[in-house]
Amino acid sequence: MLDLEIYQIVNILAVGIGLCFGMIAQKKQFCFSGSIKDYILTKSTKRASSVIMAMLIAVISSQILFLYYDIDISQSIYYKEDINYFAIIFGSCLFGAGMMIADGCGNRSLIKFSQGDSNALVTLLFIAIFAYGTSKGFLSGFLRPFTQNDSLIELSSYITNTAVNIYALIFVLLLLLIIFVRKIKRIFSLADGFFIGLLIACAWALTGILGDESMERLIDLQAISFIYPSAQSLELFMFYQVNELQFSVALLLGVIIGSFLMSSMNKKYSFGCTSNVNMNKVKYNMIGGALMGTGGILSIGCTVGQGLSGLSTLAFSSLLAIVCIFISGFITAKILNKYNKLPMCFIFEWNDTSNYQI
């Protein structure tokens, strides 16, 4: 039997989590930005219900995990010191606008690329380039007077980044789920959200329990996110001699493989009609990717990174980020729709007579 180090086992299992995430998300086209678009174009709440279900399960399962295994979640990036809420709000607004302009967030772009949308690769490249530039490159110095501004950090300190009340959060999520679902039997069609929520807890368990035992290499406490890992993937590709494969990159790789495998079996979705004839899709992919790359770093995460992983820690900053992302995304989608630049190829409506399966 192979004698593997703990960090190698973590990377292998990270690929497995990514595989599951990619297959589930591709099968049901799980998407934060898509949930906004569906409601604006068709008033459908099906994918929005899956998103709320994923949030609910991520919060409940992760909190049980943290409590049972006594995981110190304050060591995660979502509870970092000297937080700048102004940067989080600004970054979240950039990200929300970007995901609607590019027709998909980082998670969605990975799925679309894996199932045949070549334009999504442009989005992913610009996400990676601008995320790297914002975190370590040319944009970091330009934005530092804003992100590291002592006055803004001091103002932010008046609202402590503590855990929000779990009962209040669960109540709000349940209320939204009831409003979106409308019929109890529709709950059974939300298995994609249920399992994706569980995968968030699995990722926390992998880095927080198994990863904590690693003596060969430090493994950061983290779950699932896609913006900074895109920058890490680009860095690994360019400077492989001084970088090493790690959890976040392995997970991203698993998502691509998983969604590709599922797309070879799930022939329902094709991307031959992703843009209107009067829409320069590549331009929108570039702009949207750039906004998401920069915004995702400033907001400390994307829709999945803050909306699921961050929210599961109950961090106030994560709640603030995902609310700002949704508000910005909704406003941007309304503007795009006004000018007939909000593409819709597939209808995601409730089907109350179907046998729901993943």
Q: Smallest Cα–Cα separation from 164: which of 22, 311, 306?
A: 311
Return the pLDDT at 270: 59
Hey, is 309 helix, strand or coil?
helix
Mean pLDDT throughout 63-76?
95
pLDDT tens for residues 156-179? 999 999 999 999 999 999 999 999
Asked whether residue 64 carries a pLDDT value surpassing 80, the answer given is yes
pLDDT tens for residues 267-322? 777 554 444 445 668 899 999 999 999 999 999 999 999 999 999 999 999 999 99
- 70 dihedral zone (left: phi>0; alpha: psi -120 to 50; beta): left
Q: Smallest Cα–Cα separation from 251: which of 7, 22, 1?
A: 22
Helix orientation angle between 166-181 and 46-69, rounded to the nearest 10 degrees: 160
User: What value does the CA radius of gyration of the chain take, rounded to a whole number of Å?
Assistant: 19
Between 155-159, 339-343, 344-348, the lowest mean confidence (pLDDT) is in 344-348
Cβ-based burial of 177 (10 A; exposed 0-12, middle 13-18, buried ≥19): buried
Cβ count within 10 A of residue 306: 30
Maximum average pLDDT range among 102-116, 212-226, 322-336? 322-336
Q: What is the 3-state secondary structure (H, E, C) of 217-256?
A: CCCCCCCCCCHHHHHHHHHHHHCHHHCCCCHHHHHHHHHH
Return the pLDDT at 271: 58
Token couple for 233: 């993937």
Asked whether residue 27 carries a pLDDT value surpassing 80, the answer given is yes
Dihedral sign, Cα of residue 317, residue 321, residue 324, residue 330: negative
